[in-house]
Amino acid sequence: MSDDLIFNPKTNEGKYLTFNLLEEQYGISVYDIMQIIAIPNIIKIPQTPHYVKGVINLRGKIIPVMDLRLRFSLPEQEYDDKTSIIVISLHTISSLQNTFQEDQETFVGIIVDKVLEVIDIHANDIESKPTFGVELDTDFILAMAKVKNIVVTLLDMGKILTSRELEHIQKMKI
């Protein structure tokens, strides 16, 4: 762990929290993360996309949560004692063109199978994301990293939540 490793938008170098989703490892920049919690009681909300599971009450804040498995069209799984929620704070995401509500911090919880650890990913470990052709949307992938011979997919949370979804989440936050 190097001492002054901070997020570099060009190289994507920085500290990442890794987690498991169906055997695969993914990483999210720790700067986007507000908190990691075990799965609490989720209050269901009607008329929402199927991957939005509802809202949780985190110390008085109402935060919408979504199941990342469902968001990635992976098979759904029963929640167990490893399942955790990573609460993400959105206004710090540099790539997001948040034309509205600029000063407001927006929190979203994502449900993952299991959180692993906080690791440093250096620029030389990072490779650019693969291209599968124009028809496949790979925008939400920031880059691919190799850590101890394991490939970690680094995610861009701003891309995962499109502007429309964000609007939706904003509305839910009332």
Q: What's the longest Cα–Cα distance across the chain?
A: 46
Gap between the Cα atoms of 8 and 10, Å rounded:
5
- Measured distance CA(12)–CA(156) in Å, rounded: 10
3 near another protein, judged by CB under 8 A: yes
Considering beta carbons, is residue 6 or 136 the nearer one to another protein?
6
Is residue 147 a contact residue for another protein (CB under 8 A)? Answer: no
Q: Binding another protein by CB under 8 A: which of 23, 117, 135, 137? A: 117
Using CA of residue 102, residue 106, residue 110, residue 116, what is the dihedral sign? Answer: positive
12 and 28 Cβ atoms separated by less than 8 Å: no
Smallest gap from Cβ 34 to another protein, in A, equals: 8
In angstroms, what is the minimal distance from the CB of 90 to another protein?
15
Q: Where are the alpha helices (DSSP H) in the chain?
A: 68-71, 157-160, 163-172
Q: Which of residues 17-76 bind another protein (CB under 8 A)?
A: 17, 30-31, 33, 35-38
Q: Please give the size of the binding site for another protein, defined by CB under 8 A.
A: 19
In degrees rounded to 5, what are phi and psi of residue 50? -65, -30
Closest approach, Cβ 4 to another protein, in A, equals: 7
What is the closest distance, in whole angstroms, from the C-beta atom of residue 63 to another protein in the complex? 15
Site string for another protein, 83-112 (x = CB under 8 A): -x----------------------------
Residue 112: C-alpha distances to residues 4, 99, 128, 129, 143 (Å): 28, 29, 24, 22, 19
Q: Does 123 bind another protein (CB under 8 A)?
A: no
Residue of 114, 143, 113, 148 lying closest to 126 (CA atoms): 143
Footprint on this chain of another protein (rule: CB under 8 A): 1, 3-4, 6, 15, 17, 30-31, 33, 35-38, 81-82, 84, 115, 117-118
